[in-house]
Structure 1
Amino acid sequence: EGHLRIFAMVRVGTRCWVVSQSGLYVHDPQTDRFVSVVRAKDRLYFRATAAVAGTDAVWFGGDGGTVSRLDRKTGRLELMGVIPGRKVSAVALDKNGRVLVATGYTRVALPFSMRSVLRLPAADALAFDGKAWLTVRDEVRPAPMPFRCGYQGDNMNRVKHQLNYLVRDGKRLSFLQGVFRPKVLCEDPVDGKLWLATWAGAVSIPLPRPAADAPEAR
């Protein structure tokens, strides 16, 4: 209790890199200490809960009501706004290119440093037409997702590490190393990627191709 939670630990060459609630650290073998590389202003506990890939950008929703846009050209991730007292449950694009966001109630509190972020309407569904956010009655339907991360079987409590298996149509494709509690968000056919939520954000991996001899998930 009282210690910062570690989200990921990866060894690269002779160095160990750690991502925690307070930022990014690397181990210095000469001093046997972890050195801060990126210091987070706030604890990184907002989890990506939904995403959709468009032509120009990838949109993410979070469990703290955050809505962010990743621009494909610049690579910049911009926080577009926050829906107070809500978590994002789904993100989709309609036939007119609008971004649709579905929400639900939550008790997650935003940090004080985000007090100046644009507040979006606290509604069950929102739409963004490129200029303004509006409350809508549209049903937000994400695209069907054949991929998932998980484990099926009777011994789930004894093999929790198998939650990191990437599965498609009941067959294991690969093991996701270096991420904590991964969850599939969306396919990105533009860049050929698969976006995953982790405990502290989101990552992308090359879009897997199903193998004919892939083992069935158990």
Structure 2
Amino acid sequence: MPAEELVVEPLVAARRLLGATLWSGAVGIRVTEVEAYGGDPAGPWPDPAAHSYPGPTPRNAVMFGPPGVLYVYLSYGMHTCVNVTTGPDGTAGAVLIRAGEVIAGHDLARGRRPAARTDADLARGPGNLGSALGITLGDYGTDLFAAKSAIRLELTPEIIEPAAVSAGPRVGVRLAAERPWRLWLADSPAVSVYRRSPRAPRLDRPA
């Protein structure tokens, strides 16, 4: 089963998701940028920047479940962010889909993203990606590999070559900001701009 390919540590799962296609109805997006997140201190991948770090809550419950499930949350109360759960059932982990290239359903995506200047802008950035796909909080917990799901994930047959992938620090997090768990396709124009959180410690100061 495809979900079994995500029963791995978050960074490995993030690399596996690069180049995958995320479908929501008629809109299909090729994933060009991802960001890995671990879990709570009791798990194998403690990550103070992860929503799962304090332990299970009603909000983050799916992060502690099986892989291949949609974890959706609002950023700043308005941007819908799309995540895929990873790791074995019972161990928290997820990958934020930060950006992608629209490969199908362009007209529908443009209607949802009228401010986008180019096709490359349609799903560049996690909030824009969620908008282009029309994903809402009501889609939380969707099984992305179930045949009848309205939102589906198709993994690529082969993992992207390492030379085609760039890595760097995560965007907008205050804790563990230097962890190089953001990955992107180096030659894609549909990748977001890196912005370091103003709340993160300065690089010339100890964390």
- Report which of the two has the higher share of helix: 2
TM bin (shorter chain): under 0.3
TM-score by length of 2: 0.25
In the superposition, the TM-score normalised over structure 1's length comes to 0.24
Q: Which has the higher strand share?
A: 1
**Higher-RCO chain (CA-CA 8 Å, sequence separation at least 6):** 2
